[in-house]
Amino acid sequence: MKTCVVGVATISLTLFIAGCFAGSSIVKGHVVMRTNSEAHINLGSDDGIQVGDTLTVCREERGRSLSSRTVRVGKVRVARILDTDHAAVEGLTGTLQERDTVGKQTR
């Protein structure tokens, strides 16, 4: 039973990423902290994130069963790089929540 649940979770995550961020090369992270004016994400200079980058914000909405769907909830702009693994972002559209997925397609 545990193997089945892990398989469903893996498939769900794969579909979530594919549904929200189209493209062959994707940089993906999460909102790890939010304040009134900005949020911190777990992407930084090591991930190729730069000040001014625009990232798409997506949220996984779970239904009553094991099903879930991906919803694009907004866009953010990288305001400053905090370190190699974190950046501060400002909301452009939508409302951010901790654990939302952020990402951008790379070339």
Domain ranges, residue 90: 2-105
Question: What CATH number has the domain bearing residue 47?
Answer: 2.40.10.410
Each residue's pLDDT expressed in tens, for the chain with a length of 107 residues: 333 333 333 333 444 445 576 655 789 999 999 988 899 999 999 999 999 999 999 998 877 777 778 889 999 999 999 999 999 999 888 888 999 999 987 76
Overall domain count for the chain: 1
CB atoms within 10 A of CB 40: 18
Instruction: Say whether pTM exceeds 0.75.
Output: no
